[in-house]
A = this chain, B = another copy of it.
Amino acid sequence: MPAYSVVVDVMLKPEILDPAGQAVANALPALGLGPTSSLRIGKHVEISLEADDEAGALAMATSMAQVLLANPVIEDFSVRLA
């Protein structure tokens, strides 16, 4: 089967507070950068896997995100080919 590179991005839902992102946003002006109106930090997961086709690779990565990579209570995720 051909190999595919799939990317899963996992972000806290917009209504969930992101203290790490807030800390970074607050630190930027002291470094001469920013300001930003929003800065949120999530997870970026790069997966190499074998599948029959692109749709199969995306479906497999989506299952991984639903089962293990994301917490559906507080996180959203997106899946795409790299």
Contacts and interface: CB of A to CB of B under 8 A. Distances in A.
A34 B56 CA distance: 12
A37 B68 contact: no
A11 interface: yes
B34 A64 contact: yes
How many copies of this chain are found per oligomer? Answer: 2
Interface residues of A, number: 33
A12 to B, nearest CB: 10
Contact of A27 (B38, B39, B44, B68): B68
Given A11-B44, A43-B42, A46-B42, A3 B37 contact: yes
Which A-B residue pairs are the 6 nearest by beta carbons? A44-B44, A38-B48, A42-B44, A37-B48, A36-B49, A9-B44
